[in-house]
Structure 1
Amino acid sequence: MPGARGVIFDFDGVLVDSEPLHARAFQDVLARYGRTLTDEEYYANYIVYSDREVLERLLPSGEALEAALAAKVRRYQELMEGGVPVFQDCLALLARTDGWRVGLATGSIRHEVERVLQSLRIHDRFAAIVTREDCEKGKPDPEPFLRAAWRLGLDPRQCVAIEDTPGGIRAAKAAGMACVAVTHSCPRESLVGADVVVDDLSTVHLAAVLPR
């Protein structure tokens, strides 16, 4: 639609500081199988993948995969009970999206995402929420962003994606979107391919990111 604009946020690492909880949950579960995963390894190699994809890579020949998946989800939920820190700079940007169609595209599962959004009282800010259950392929494939744009009724070229990982950036650019990357999770030098890289999302002017 001419003149319409959209902004599509990632969830983990952009809106909420949940990546340390994911890393801890993986570490606790993998330890039961005699495997280790350092924080550095998680952030460098696995942060963009779904739970299943991470465990497929780390458990040999699919060893106890389904049981490990269920255990990881349970452990993550236990850790979330202690509360998930929110990135205030993302909330500040979200508060400045009047006139924009706002979506969310994440590899997390729906009930986890919606519980957090409801607790923050921002669920209604999102006109489209795409989670792991909605997609055959996750990031770095563009499917999550393409589905979010479709649900917003927009061409991907009318959308700005907000990301925090190299894989997320690749997904956004493959979808044909402009991309803002924030250094919440990864160092600036690793966020190659983003149109804009910032340390603080509250400084972002969305209209300046979209191609004219």
Structure 2
Amino acid sequence: MKPQLVIFDNDGVLVDSEPTAHRVLSEYLTELGFPFTLEESYRHFLGNAARNIHTVVADRYGGTLPADFTARCHERVFTAFKQGLDAVQGADTVLTELRRRGIPYCLASSSDHAWIDLTLDRTGLRPLLPPGVVFSAQDVGGVGKPAPDLFLHAAASFGTEPRDCLVVEDSPNGVRAAKAAGMPVVGYTALTPASRLIGATSFITRLTGILDHLDHDR
């Protein structure tokens, strides 16, 4: 059955921000005396809220990050984004086609609105994702994925039942959040192997594959 609402994650799904963000994050953590490789950063932090970085560092090293770590890390990432950031290949094609077909869509990210706004503005996706269809964990009291709150809020904003939504996610926490919300979820495997997206109902290797998925549901 055709979904009544398609919900996209942002980082790694619509915006190709993950390589830059994780390079900066791993370099900053290493600089602070808590070494993480780029691959380890992906494995531990992809799709996690910023506060979880503190927990992982404490568990792995028994150390404590500076109180201003999140703010300073964001500053570094924002600076890197301003030097160059691209949309995921096919993102504009997918959103334009959904609009043409009359299928509502939105973005739901654990990142704050400042982060989301910067990525959409830098990649040129803003015209396809105006403020009314962009949701942040800030909108639900800062509760990010894997809690279902953000996805449920997005669905409620469109007056859509969770079972009638379709989520596109590339992180384990995102998939968990969608499943907890009672929503079917397509796993996007460009950065995360399908074996880590446990609970996804199907998988795509390129973003435009979501259009093929919708064609099969007609």
Give the TM-score category using the shorter length. 0.7 to 0.9
What CA distance in whole angstroms lies between the structure 1 residues aligned with 2:22 and 2:93?
26
Structure 1, 153-162 or 127-136: larger mean CA deviation: 127-136
Consecutive unaligned residues in structure 2, runs of 5 or more: none
What CA distance in whole angstroms lies between the structure 2 residues aligned with 1:27 and 1:87?
22
The residue that corresponds to 1:129 in the other structure is: 134
Give the SS at the match of 2:12.
coil
Q: Which amino acid aligns with 1:138?
A: G
The residue that corresponds to 2:41 in the other structure is: 42
What CA distance in whole angstroms lies between the structure 1 residues aligned with 2:157 and 2:209?
27
Aligned-residue Cα RMSD (Å) equals 2.3
Q: Number of aligned residue pairs: give it.
A: 209
What CA distance in whole angstroms lies between the structure 2 residues aligned with 1:171 and 1:36?
29
Identity rate, percent: 31
Q: How far 1:124 moved relative to its partner?
A: 4.3
1:1-212 paired onto structure 2 within 5 Å:
5-59=4-58, 63-98=64-99, 99-126=102-129, 127-135=132-140, 136-205=142-211, 207=214
What CA distance in whole angstroms lies between the structure 1 residues aligned with 2:3 and 2:195?
32
What CA distance in whole angstroms lies between the structure 2 residues aligned with 1:78 and 1:125?
24
Q: Which amino acid aligns with 1:173?
A: K
Q: How far 1:132 moved relative to its partner?
A: 3.0
Structure 1, 112-121 or 150-159: larger mean CA deviation: 112-121
Give the TM-score of the pair, scaled to structure 1: 0.87
Q: Check the 8 A contact 2:9/2:108 in 1, yes or no.
A: yes
Q: Check the 8 A contact 1:162/1:180 in 2, yes or no.
A: yes
Give the TM-score of the pair, scaled to structure 2: 0.85
